Amino acid sequence: MNQLPIKAPTLDMTDDEQVQQHQADQFAVQVFDGEHNAIQTGRLIIRFVDSYSQRHHEQSLNDWLVAELHQYPTIWQDDADLIATAHEIIISITVANEAKTALYRHVDQGKSRDSWIAERIESGAKQAGVVKVGEYAAGIDCALADANHQLSQRVFNQDGAVSTNPHLHGLLAESDIANQFNIRATTSGSTIRAEVLNETGWNSHDIVLKDGAGNVIENIQIKSYADTKQLIKNLKHHDGYPDGTTIVVHEDQVAQVQQEFPHRKVTSQLDVDDVSVDMPSRAELKQLQENAQLRAEIREYDWNEVNRIQVAKRIGTQALAGAAIVAGMQGARILGRRVWNAIMGQDNPPLNEDMREFFTSSIKSSAHVGVQVAVSGAVVVAVKNGLLGKLLRSTPAGRIANSVYIGMENAKLLYQYAKGELSGAETLDAMANVSCSALAGLMGAGFGAIKGAAFGTVLGPIGSVLGGLIGGVVGGIAGSSIGELVYAGGKSIVKTAAHVLTGIAQGIKHVASGIARVFNPARWFA
């Protein structure tokens, strides 16, 4: 991947209220498919938290969550699916909190976060049955880097400005299909990899599939059109595609396009060497937005006593960069505040003491698993009910729970920052600790080897928007004064985050030019 010079973010945009409000508008549409769905998600969170507070003295956490999930019988395949989901939520939140406690204990003993990360990588690799620890570490590093710079390759031009390309959705389709194909190929052991060509010549291909020796075995053309007639017209203009070119379109367009081009292979599914990837729907592409292509091959690090801390330091730096990016997403917190205000205007929900105790507890505390499980249960129900579109419906509950964990912990840090208990730098460092503990939770929750897709969900744009909204809602549940401080802390931390990101971006080779401009979000979802 060619790297571009990193430019400093445009700081005049970071605290622009109009820009942040527009960002919130776009998040509401592109992630939740409308503010109404975001409000419904907020109501579910309030309902679950209230139920937990009323019943947790009478029932175990597992029994309560299973009973609560039973109130939504149509979203589960069967009772076993429901029970497994409840177990996965509880385990994921518990392990993330245990990891946070272990990290702070480690640091309080005068040791570094980097050495803790190295130890967690080693134990995670062992638990996953991975022999090559260096390869495992490289996968984590690259996955974090991808989560951090998904905004760059497709959404930003080479000069760092936000892309106005009218064909942006088609470019995103190419990236997402290649991304998903390579993840699944790696998981299944296939040596075939998808490569986005980024070519603009007439009749140039979008993607090629290559075998393990680098030979092209199939040419792929991706066509993301809402209007099938326009799609067919475009294909007729490009009838010079070489024989054997596969045309990938949306599922509802396959039959009509195939009828027009009987000599072509037209499909909505890329299926090669037992690796299968569906063409995303247009709605899913609008939610994905800035998914960049995962690397076709992950280089292996030499894992030894000399190098292990340097590798861990890279991962820790990626976590800090990610924390700075998330801190700059004030639009997500504005959306959360809007949701809370809308609910307050209609339902007058009760304020919650358990949530207040969560916010006022130490940043090192892991004593509030229950309320985090309650919020996670609500968000899982929201996802399965389609309130966050189709994209996350098949996402494992544990990944959703990790997004909730990060969102709530970061909201608590912003509250304590606004109160003056933490400096801006301390807040961002603590947010990086939250991301690292979530990372360790993903490695240690016992649900198999960690994959790049897990980071895309938890630490990527959609997980970050979800976490920001959750932070705004749970701050309101804890009380108006806490909610206002979460909002104020988020607004204040943005410029600090931009300066921190500027300072570390030059040292991260994976961070491309666009990453330093994520604080200019007026047209993230243009």
What is the 3-state secondary structure of 84-148?
HHHHHHHHHHHHHHHHHHHHHHHHHCCCCHHHHHHHHHHHHHHHCCCCCHHHHHHHHHHHHHHHH
Question: What is the residue whose two structure tokens read 């491309």?
Answer: 512
Which is nearest to 467 in space by CA: 370, 362, 388, 353?
Answer: 388
Residues 6+ apart with CB under 8 A from 30: 286, 287, 289, 525
Q: Do 3 and 512 contact (CB within 8 A), yes or no?
A: yes
Q: Do 355 and 489 sit in the same domain of this protein?
A: yes
Encoded tokens for 358: 């969560």
Q: Do 183 and 76 sit in the same domain of this protein?
A: no
Q: Do 241 and 325 sit in the same domain of this protein?
A: no
Q: Do 463 and 339 sit in the same domain of this protein?
A: yes
Is 72 among the domain residues? yes
Give a three-class secondary structure readout of 286-327: HHHCCCCCCCCCCCCCCCCCCCHHHHHHHHHHHHHHHHHHHH
Give the end of a domain, one of 295, 329, 346. Answer: 295
Give a three-class secondary structure readout of 408-427: HHHHHHHHHHHCCCCCHHHH
Residue type (1 letter), 428: L
Q: Do 472 and 339 contact (CB within 8 A), yes or no?
A: yes
Give the end of a domain, one of 249, 269, 295. Answer: 295
Question: Rounded CA gap, 149 and 321, in Å?
Answer: 10
Q: Do 340 and 419 sit in the same domain of this protein?
A: yes
Q: Do 327 and 269 sit in the same domain of this protein?
A: no
Is 302 among the domain residues? no
Q: Do 492 and 408 sit in the same domain of this protein?
A: yes
Backbone angles phi, psi at 256, to 5 degrees: -70, -40
Q: Do 78 and 197 sit in the same domain of this protein?
A: no
| Long-range own/partner contacts, residues 238-242 (CB < 8 A, 24 or more apart) | 238/202, 238/203, 240/202, 240/203, 241/203, 241/205
Is 98 among the domain residues? yes
Question: Rounded CA gap, 393 and 180, in Å?
Answer: 16
pLDDT attached to residue 372 = 97
Which is nearest to 496 in space by CA: 438, 443, 422?
Answer: 422
Is 403 among the domain residues? yes
Give the end of a domain, one of 244, 260, 295. Answer: 295
Encoded tokens for 286: 């609008």
Question: Rounded CA gap, 274 and 249, in Å?
Answer: 20
Question: Rounded CA gap, 300 and 155, in Å?
Answer: 29
Q: Do 289 and 435 sit in the same domain of this protein?
A: no
pTM of the full structure? 0.67
Q: Which domain covers residue 180, as residue numbers? A: 163-295
pLDDT attached to residue 314 = 77
Backbone angles phi, psi at 19, to 5 degrees: -60, -45
Is 151 among the domain residues? no
Buried b (16+ CB within 10 A) or exposed e, 221-253: bbbbbeebeebbeebeeeeebeeebbbbbbeeb
Which is nearest to 268 in space by CA: 284, 285, 281, 286?
Answer: 281
Q: What are the residue ranges in the chain where pLDDT is below 70?
A: 1-16, 127-173, 175-176, 179-180, 183-184, 186-189, 198-205, 238-240, 282-307, 347-350, 390-391, 444-461, 501, 503-526
Encoded tokens for 177: 């299909």
Question: What is the residue whose two structure tokens read 């009772």?
Answer: 79
Residue type (1 letter), 159: D
Question: Rounded CA gap, 9 and 516, in Å?
Answer: 5
Q: Do 186 and 259 sit in the same domain of this protein?
A: yes
Q: Do 287 and 217 sit in the same domain of this protein?
A: yes
Helix axes 353-360, 397-418, angle to 10 degrees: 70
Is 145 among the domain residues? no
Is 508 among the domain residues? no
Encoded tokens for 401: 């729970």
Instruction: Determine which helix (DSSP H) or strand (DSSP E) holds 234, and give its type and residue range.
Output: helix 228-237
Q: Do 98 and 174 sit in the same domain of this protein?
A: no
Question: What is the residue whose two structure tokens read 């075995």?
Answer: 217
pLDDT attached to residue 61 = 96
Question: Rounded CA gap, 484 and 171, in Å?
Answer: 39
Query: How many CA atoms lie within 13 Å of 89's alpha carbon, on the beta-carbon side?
Result: 29
Is 457 among the domain residues? yes
CA of residue 352 relative to chain centroid, distance? 28
Residues 6+ apart with CB under 8 A from 362: none
| Domains of the chain: total | 2
Residues 6+ apart with CB under 8 A from 262: none
pLDDT attached to residue 176 = 66
Give Cα separations from 55 to 44, 46, 356 (angstroms). 17, 14, 17
pLDDT attached to residue 243 = 75
